[in-house]
Structure 1
């Protein structure tokens, strides 16, 4: 499959009641050095001033379109609506409390190959306002074996729109692990993804800000994810997944228990999670 030199890239942003943050996310998409983009924002029934902010953005920028839900449908349904509306050869997502660095889209396209099921990058983690930490990965090629241990693809990728639709879009039954599940299904269907070791997105985990990755009420989604994919997991994969689930539920394992039950592929990650408190991603 051949693409034009500068294919259209659709950036989808889902939002709900983020009047304080949505402009940061949208502005980071508008600030991309790669200019052939469209931005599709799905307002999942906001009750604050988000809707008015989005209408103003739409009036000011001809590459922004808005989908408005009058009743909340959830993140997955919102993403799927945006992807189905998208016109781009590629799609990539952005959560409303995170933001892109200016070179994200251009760098991902530069490193992309048609043989990849998707491409992603390292990320910065913001745990304190104004302080960024580079979340590095030593794994570049994201094979099925690697992805069954953990979501090494992060929460956002760049992928051909046709591929993500053919793979079934986001599973609206999952209350968490939706990104992980989607990327895993892409790898199953199309082969390995690829992660470049350059941080191109900021993942905001500022304390006090609720998101799926810190909301322990989302544990049932993690359990459903494991149940959904356990038929292709080997014992080391299951052990890694069960350890993370145990940390999510309780986080009271001893260091020796971490060493005992962790997989060699996820040991360093499990130790970091254990030291700073669990986040589900």
Structure 2
């Protein structure tokens, strides 16, 4: 029997040792083996770097690399991708965690979806007040044209390490939306992916330490992303991004653009609006598509 393949998990971190230890613990607790975990510290302050090293000393299977100066999450992730020894690779944000079965189920589905370039999952969101919601649970194929409408993958995926290296990983010139840009380039170069029916990625939104998605860099990054990929988009896809931009930057809804969207994209936008207005329990129970 062949040995099971090595899977690399990369984590970029900066000044969040308490969250980092939860993320690493969830990697070490995976039911799958063998695993390689690479933590790249993006120039944390000295006191936090020392705490990281002390916390990670309990995990000899974790490789810790510290960048001398902050260089941004894409550089940190690319550092890990270049160091990775695993045949397969996936990522985890330092303030999130994996359910124990995540890597096992991804690898199992990889061999049953051999025509796919990447896999992704839905996610479990823990929001303020420790409320728990599950999103994007519907299994589906995701191709390049789907991605040109919106990032229907999320913030992490599972693929071959060689594939991620072939597209040069993440683009350091983007202040945000680097994950979406990477998925677009990956699908354009290598083909479709597949979302499995799982919510094994736990996304924490209950803490006060801001994500880039709620920072001032989000708007600038989104504009740069559109400039980079606009020439590949249809009018309907451009309309989708007008709507997406409004949704994610608290702008007035461009209803003219909304009514140019295909039905599936209208439903996606309506879902977001429902969640924003506190009706997410209704949405989750009905399982509307994302």
Q: Same fold (TM over 0.5)?
A: yes
Partners of 1:12 and 1:275 lie apart in 2 by 33
Is 2:40 aligned against 1:46? no
Is 2:253 aligned against 1:267? no
Is 2:29 aligned against 1:60? no
Q: CA RMSD in A?
A: 2.2
Partners of 1:15 and 1:160 lie apart in 2 by 23
Where does residue 88 of structure 1 map in the other structure? 86
In the superposition, the TM-score normalised over structure 1's length comes to 0.90
| Residue pairs, 1:244-255, within 5 angstroms | 244-253=244-253
In the superposition, the TM-score normalised over structure 2's length comes to 0.88
Where does residue 230 of structure 1 map in the other structure? 230
Is 2:190 aligned against 1:190? yes
Where does residue 176 of structure 1 map in the other structure? 176
Structure 1 gap segments, 5+ residues each? none
| 1:115 CA displacement | 2.3
Structure 2 gap segments, 5+ residues each? 278-290
1:129–1:84: structure 2 CA closer, same or farther, 3 Å change rule?
A: farther
| 1:247 CA displacement | 2.9
Where does residue 288 of structure 2 map in the other structure? none
Partners of 1:245 and 1:10 lie apart in 2 by 33
Q: Which one has the bigger helix percentage?
A: 2
State which drifts further: 124-133 or 180-189. 124-133
Partners of 2:6 and 2:87 lie apart in 1 by 6
Partners of 1:145 and 1:137 lie apart in 2 by 20
User: Residue 109 of structure 1 aligns to a residue in which SS?
Assistant: helix
| Residue pairs, 1:1-281, within 5 angstroms | 4-47=2-45, 49-112=47-110, 113-138=113-138, 140-206=140-206, 208-253=208-253, 259-260=258-259, 262-277=261-276
Partner deviation per Cα, 1:69-120 (whole Å, 9 max, x = no partner): 1210000000000010110001110001111000000000000144211111
Q: Contact 1:262 / 1:270 at 8 angstroms: preserved in 2?
A: no
| 1:201 CA displacement | 0.7
1:236–1:158: structure 2 CA closer, same or farther, 3 Å change rule?
A: same
Q: Contact 1:126 / 1:206 at 8 angstroms: preserved in 2?
A: yes
User: Residue 201 of structure 2 aligns to a residue in which SS?
Assistant: strand
